[in-house]
A and B are shown apart, each in its own frame.
Chain A
Amino acid sequence: MSCEKTSQVHAYHDGELPDDQRQAMQAHLEVCDQCRRLLEDLRRLSSLMATAPLPAVPQAALNRMHGSWWAARRRQDRALRRLAGWMTFAAAAAAIALVFWPLGSGSGRPDVSEGEPVTVWEELTYIPPITTREDPASELVQVAQWMANDLSAEQMR
């Protein structure tokens, strides 16, 4: 029959028991052969693992480890180039939007009745309604227009 305290022997071996339980376990180990044998086995296993020889490292693996320096830098450069690409794209989209925006500025806007003044603030923060999402190109233009709106707002300030 297995002693019910064997699981605590692991925690005792690992120094994970609080003081009172550790002392109780020490007393238990005095009288329980099974737990004492387990503790001896755990100590031998720990010692075996701590002193087990490490496998030989092939030269190719060692070269790759040292090459990690350059691999990390290549990845960093790639990430920076990707970011630069996105920023260029965003700037180009904004520029295109600025050029074409006045042409379509009248469409899709809500009717504003005469005599009802529209403040500059309302004018600049107006967000056009979302149009159909069927055409990805029109969606892109839409995004560019929003960016242009934001830029215009910045310039007005």
Chain B
Amino acid sequence: MAQQYSMTMTGSPAPDGTPKLPSDAELLEQIAQGSQQAFGELVNRHGRYLYAVARSLCDDVADAEDVVQETLIAALQSGFAGRASVRTWLVAILIRQAALIRRRKKPQSPLTIVVQPDAADASDARLDLARMLQSLSPELRQVIILRELEQMSYQEIAQTLGLPRGTVESRLHRARQQLLQRFKGYQL
């Protein structure tokens, strides 16, 4: 079965003729042609980041793993339009997958603030991204991830999440206010 997929992975040669690593978009083209190796490379490049974002969006580890896997499966089955970077495209899929899983698990338990920084560990603490964002409600996490990590414009976030632009702005303000309040001691 494995033999039916191409195992080559190449990028466009650099002007001086030396081989260079394929871009993300080139990897996706190779994946579409059946290259499992290209898929492996894509996972190596973005897997850790996707997992971090999934951990930021999901309250439990198993859900985060499910979300990342569903994201990669969805990416394999849908086309990349090239409107954003491949990473941003993957994160947009991931956010939708996380929302689907959250909806499936309803009724939601009330949000618990899992990060309780105190003065003792605030001096040299470097919060990991997931722990930091888990202190926000899921709706606030979505917008701040797309803005701060993916550098999307308000309009792009609104399109990605299917929200009015004003809602995006107000959620972004609230997310930042809450983070600023909660992590005053963390090298802010």
Residue B115 is within 8 A (CB to CB) of chain A in the complex? no
- Chain B contributes a number of interface residues (CB within 8 A of A) equal to 43
- Name the distance in Å between B57's Cβ and chain A's nearest Cβ: 12
Contacts of A41 in B (CB 8 A): 180, 188
Contacts of B51 in A (CB 8 A): 54-55, 57, 61, 65
* Contacting residues of chain B (132-188) with chain A, CB-CB under 8 angstroms: 132, 144, 147-149, 153-154, 169, 172-173, 176, 179-180, 183, 186-188
B39 touches which of A50, A62, A69 (Cβ 8 Å): A69
B129 touches A52 (CB 8 A): yes
B68 touches A65 (CB 8 A): yes
Contacts of A57 in B (CB 8 A): 47-48, 51
Task: Known contacts A50-B148, A55-B51; decide if A64 and B68 are in contact (CB<8 Å).
Answer: yes
Which one of B17-25, B72-80, B103-111, B116-124 is at the interface? B72-80
- Chain A contributes a number of interface residues (CB within 8 A of B) equal to 32
Task: Known contacts A49-B129, A55-B55; decide if A71 and B69 are in contact (CB<8 Å).
Answer: yes
- Complexed CA–CA distance, A69 and B35 (Å): 10
- Complexed CA–CA distance, A66 and B69 (Å): 9
- Name the distance in Å between B131's Cβ and chain A's nearest Cβ: 8
- Complexed CA–CA distance, A14 and B168 (Å): 13
- Complexed CA–CA distance, A76 and B74 (Å): 11
B residues sitting closer than 8 Å to A (CB atoms) are 36, 39-40, 43, 47-52, 55, 61, 64-65, 68-69, 72-73, 76-77, 126-132, 144, 147-149, 153-154, 169, 172-173, 176, 179-180, 183, 186-188
A residues sitting closer than 8 Å to B (CB atoms) are 7, 10-11, 14, 16, 41-42, 44-46, 48-50, 52-55, 57-58, 60-62, 64-69, 71-72, 75-76
Q: List 23 A-B contacts (CB under 8 A).
A: A14-B153, A42-B176, A44-B187, A45-B176, A45-B188, A48-B132, A49-B149, A50-B148, A52-B132, A53-B128, A54-B52, A55-B55, A55-B129, A55-B130, A55-B131, A60-B65, A61-B68, A68-B69, A69-B39, A71-B73, A75-B73, A75-B77, A76-B77
